[in-house]
Structure 1
């Protein structure tokens, strides 16, 4: 072969080698990109971010959950007003993630709540006990300034409950309230016209007095929910029903009284609870983390709106009207919402 043929052959070989190299690099990049994309999609689908509170082993972790505020499912918060507080769906999502995540070995649940809805409290209780039964992951509770009524209900299944000296807890029981402004309306000449399909359809109406029959119907419902409350404490705290009923009359108590009544195990702050959890379950080197959510443009916009309007009384009233139920319902609740 002449020189030109040799040069052409070398160029062809070089092109082939470069082509193979480029294809290999592209394939590797594509696989890595696809894997990373899949991981990102999984993370986005869960809607949960993680913030490390204390460094440690990523394969042996302690999750910190927090219930702060009234336990109510108020639905989707208004993007315009951007209400802040307890988010029921978000909390249930955290529990579901803990159930599926094998790296989570234990949970510290921080409770600062006056309680809330009967259904919402029961849902949290059911998911906690499900995690305990199916995975064996322990829950330790750290009570804050208040963990009353439904706040105690969700704490009852924990392996240990810690309180502060000044924690307000207890308030074991059920309440259902409405307001009767019938006489006031009559004084001002306001007439309410009600058409109903049955005698009890407007039970607990704010425009008339309740009958004895209606009161008996509602009392039976509340008694059932109260019995459920007593039963979960009997099971969770290993107490007799008589022992529970002795303090389950709606009374509130401080931390010392709760420990003496066997409704709590010890006095301690959150850092003490975490130390006990590490020591009791050989988690000295465990990473400690909490969940969060990525801020969307809507949530960022809500912050701007809040800063624009401020927390004035009219905004608070509008928020309350838009996010809270108006119909009376049974509550595991101490004090006002």
Structure 2
């Protein structure tokens, strides 16, 4: 009996400690004087499950930052890209937050910060890439799956009832008509021009012709992106450096002698993970095509 009571006490204590650290760990010993917020944006853009983030996730963190009132922000972006809509929303959220709070935002690129990840990095004041960061991949892609030939071989006939001739455009059960292909190409190139415009607006010393040459979907390591100017106001990124380098440079830029750092990470619930997985499976079955800012190592 005594052993059981002792075991119950230990289990209860562990539960209390777990809850305490889960709820209050971000507030332990964090001074608010000269606070620098490090915000981690990791995963695919535009989903709700694990290893992903969307505009609602970013908005929640920005609401916390409104209360914390940091002196500056470093976004640690590790993303291969994602949906066009959510990417653009996050880009605009960052821009609006900067203007509203008159605050400097730096970006530190992680292992991969390409395509949509690079797009949202454009909203910052300065971009740091590590030498082996994979970045660039500036462009838009839409992949369509077609099962028509396979279904014919198996002997399956799909009957589609539609209200207009374009209602099943992009269907995996039939080929695109030339007219439909043209329609999709117009959408893709309009979004591509939007991407080009964002880079042009934020890489002020790069000519449009240079940007277009660099924006054919190529992937660059951070060291090359810096030489090409993709990481710099005169190129694609500003500087080569780690997260610590970005924080140090921001501290110097803000003329702060000492700083306190607080990290913000997007927290996903177990339920969100399940819902995301289920939603993705249903989406693939219903409509396997999607327009995305996507990084691909190989075709």
Common topology (TM > 0.5) = yes
Q: Does 1:208 align with 2:174?
A: yes
Return the alpha-carbon distance in structure 2 between the equivalents of residues 146 and 49 of structure 1.
31
Q: Which runs of 5+ in 2 are unaligned?
A: 1-22, 229-234
Query: 3-state SS of the aligned residue for 1:101?
Result: helix
Change (3 A) 1:168 1:288: same
Instruction: Assess, with a 3 A threshold, how the Cα gap between structure 1 residues 275 and 134 changes in structure 2: closer, same or farther.
Output: same
Instruction: Say which one has the larger Rg.
Output: 1
Q: Please, which of 288, 296, 310 is the counterpart of residue 261 of structure 2? A: 288
Structure 1: segments with no counterpart, 5+ residues: 1-47, 75-82, 307-314
Distance 1:162 1:253 in 2: 14
Residue among 161, 183, 189 paired with 1:223: 189
Residue 30 of structure 2 contacts residue 262 of structure 2 at CA under 8 Å; is this kept in 1? no
CA drift of 1:292 comes to 5.2
Q: Could you say what secondary structure the match of 1:90 adopts? A: helix
Q: What displacement does 1:252 show?
A: 0.6
Quote the residue 1:40 is aligned against: none
Tell me how far 1:267 sits from its aligned partner.
1.0
Shift of 1:287: 1.5
Instruction: Find the counterpart in structure 2 of residue 330 from structure 1.
Output: 291
Asked whether 1:243 is paired with 2:210, we answer yes
One of 118, 132, 135 as aligned partner of 1:152: 118
SS of the residue 1:94 aligns to: helix
Q: How far apart, CA to CA, are the structure 2 residues paired with 1:293 and 1:265?
A: 26
Superposed, 1:1-337 pairs within 5 Å as: 51=26, 57-74=31-48, 83-88=49-54, 89-98=56-65, 100-101=66-67, 103-238=69-204, 239-261=206-228, 262-291=235-264, 299=270, 320-323=277-280, 325-326=283-284, 327=287, 328-335=289-296
Farther-moved stretch of structure 1 (64-73 vs 186-195): 64-73
Q: CA deviation at 1:321?
A: 4.2
Q: TM-score, normalised by structure 2?
A: 0.80
Q: CA deviation at 1:198?
A: 1.1
Contact 1:57 1:286 in 2 (8 A): no
Alignment: residue pair count: 263
Question: Contact 2:108/2:129 (CA < 8 Å) preserved in 1?
Answer: yes
- After superposition, the Cα gap between the structure-2 partners of 1:271 and 1:289, relative to the gap in structure 1 and judged at 3 Å, is same
* Cα deviation digits, residues 296-315 of structure 1 (max 9, x gap): xx74xx7xxx9xxxxxxxx9
CA distance in 2, matches of 1:274, 1:178: 42
Q: TM-score, normalised by structure 1?
A: 0.71
Rate the CA distance shift 1:322–1:139 in 2: closer, same or farther, 3 A: same
Q: Check 1:288–1:224 CA distance in 2 against 1; reply closer, same or farther (3 A cut).
A: same
